[in-house]
């Protein structure tokens, strides 16, 4: 795979394009060949238009920072030239008239949308056809299942996901790629199907932190954040292990590998203790998300009830039963906690934690537990997951870097530093 253009990271591909040893057209063809080879087994995509992508890359190769790089878009995100079904039979064949804001921005800076990737139904719970490319008998995670699997299987270098609970960070960990959930509101959500307006966040996938930084800069219309911030002075990290009794041996071992690698590279690593309020916020997240799902999917419940899964029939009904007083009280509690939590970051550069309990579960009906992501999403803080070796079954496991609100550049710089430290220790192979 290493000699195939589709296996290159985004930055490596761009460097070869600049050197004249690769063209954007050849990269697109290599990615499409990989999709043709592996899609029948992995099932990452719900819609592809190879001819349109090849036509688009001829123009895009000379545009902006992405210069023709293929990008996959989760099928929760509108595209004017491809159907968008939101993972539901209700919207089968639905053709948006406009691109979502992040798609329009991607095209404007030279990205080519290669296809639409599988999402769980309305980005929550009910899985699609996608399998984990490392072991087809295991879930890739949800809800951004197709995007994580497509990047992991070298079908595409960059992809969009969304996170309302753990839908970027967890599948990235399960599939052994880098996942980035930026600060809430960083990327415009216009044209993204809403599930919970209080939490929904557009995120990204890649196979290296520097690629995430490249994509982030392109989407913001800014210079990519510097990733060498901690080269001279290693970061100050604090470990937080919420719900520790739910982490298995593989998840714990990955965190320990990261701790050892960080300390060997010169970082200070301390424990973040006495944060009992963190775990207590899990039901608060559930209340807000359920209440907002009941409101956001009211039309589907009233007009297409027979096409909803049992999960959504029950969840929307439960959300409607949460009255405004309870809903507003939960949001107020989350806001108070967010202010309290900021003080926890004094004296540290980032929190080091787990992105999931361990390896991806066997089977396709359960996409994994978002328990280790939900409260970070509630905090609206930026989160990055990076690969940290494999577990007992040979599947990827990862670790998660979290920083404070608006500290996205710091999150990426710490993640890039730790990524290098893990490579130096030989702890990232998947």
**Distance (Å, whole) CA 404 – CA 345:** 7
Instruction: Tell the burial category of 2 from Cβ atoms under 10 Å away from its Cβ (0-12, 13-18, 19+).
Output: exposed
Both tokens of 348, joined, read 């540290």
Cis peptide bond N-terminal to 143, omega within 30: yes
Burial string for 12-37 (b: 16+ CB within 10 Å, else e) reads: bbbebbeeeebbbebbbbbbbebbee
**For residue 20, what are the CA distances in angstroms to 17, 23, 62, 104, 157?**
5, 7, 13, 28, 19
Q: Which of 74, 116, 181, 193 is catalytic?
A: 74
How many other C-beta atoms are found inside a 10 Å radius of the C-beta of residue 266? Answer: 12
Q: Which of 144, 145, 167, 357 is catalytic?
A: 167
Whether 402 contacts 169, CB under 8 Å: no
**Distance (Å, whole) CA 358 – CA 370:** 12
144: annotated active-site residue: no
**At 305, phi and psi to the nearest 5?**
-55, -40
Both tokens of 72, joined, read 């996959």
**Distance (Å, whole) CA 182 – CA 391:** 27
Q: Which of 61, 88, 143, 144 is catalytic?
A: 143
Q: Which residues contact 285 (CB under 8 A, 6 or more apart)?
A: 165, 199, 334, 374, 375, 377, 378
Whether 380 contacts 405, CB under 8 Å: yes
143: annotated active-site residue: yes
Residue 13: name the closest of 84, 4, 60, 52 by CA. Answer: 4
- Active-site residues: which are they? 74, 143, 167
């Amino acid at each position: 795979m290493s000699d195939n253009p589709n296996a290159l990271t985004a930055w490596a591909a761009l460097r070869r394009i600049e050197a004249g040893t690769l063209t954007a057209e050849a990269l697109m063809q290599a990615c499409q060949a990989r999709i043709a080879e592996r899609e029948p087994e992995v099932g990452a995509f719900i819609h592809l238009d190879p001819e349109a992508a090849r036509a688009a890359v001829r123009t895009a190769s000379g545009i902006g920072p992405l210069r023709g790089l293929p990008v996959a878009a989760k099928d929760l995100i509108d595209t004017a030239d491809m159907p968008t079904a939101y993972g539901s039979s209700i919207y089968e064949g639905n053709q948006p008239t406009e691109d979502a804001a992040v798609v329009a921005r991607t095209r404007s800076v030279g990205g080519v949308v290669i296809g639409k990737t599988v999402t769980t139904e309305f980005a929550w719970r009910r899985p699609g056809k996608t399998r984990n490319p490392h072991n087809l008998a295991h879930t890739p995670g949800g809800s951004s299942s197709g995007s994580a699997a497509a990047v992991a299987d070298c079908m595409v270098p960059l992809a969009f996901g969304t996170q309302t609970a753990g839908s970027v960070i967890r599948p990235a960990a399960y599939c052994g790629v880098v996942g980035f959930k930026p600060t809430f509101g960083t990327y415009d959500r216009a044209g993204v199907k809403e599930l919970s307006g209080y939490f929904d966040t557009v995120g990204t996938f890649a196979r290296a932190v520097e690629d995430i930084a490249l994509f982030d800069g392109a989407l913001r219309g800014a210079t990519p954040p510097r990733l060498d911030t901690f080269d001279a002075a290693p970061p100050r990290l604090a470990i937080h292990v919420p719900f520790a009794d739910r982490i298995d041996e593989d998840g714990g071992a990955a965190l320990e590998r990261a701790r050892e690698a960080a300390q060997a590279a010169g970082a200070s690593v301390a424990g973040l203790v006495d944060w009992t309020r963190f775990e207590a916020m899990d039901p608060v997240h559930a209340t807000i998300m359920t209440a907002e799902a009941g409101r956001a999917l009211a039309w589907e419940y009233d007009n297409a009830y027979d096409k909803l899964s049992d999960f959504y029939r029950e969840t929307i009904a439960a959300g409607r039963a949460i009255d405004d007083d309870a809903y507003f009280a939960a949001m107020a509690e989350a806001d108070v906690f967010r202010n309290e939590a900021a003080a926890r970051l004094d004296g540290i550069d980032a929190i080091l934690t787990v992105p999931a309990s361990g390896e991806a579960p066997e089977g396709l009906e359960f996409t994994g537990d978002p328990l280790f992501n939900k409260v970070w999403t509630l905090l609206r803080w930026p989160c990055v997951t990076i690969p940290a070796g494999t577990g007992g079954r040979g599947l990827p496991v990862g670790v998660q870097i979290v920083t404070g609100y608006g500290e996205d550049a710091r999150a990426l710089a710490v993640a890039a530093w730790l990524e290098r430290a893990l490579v130096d220790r030989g702890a990232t192979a998947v």
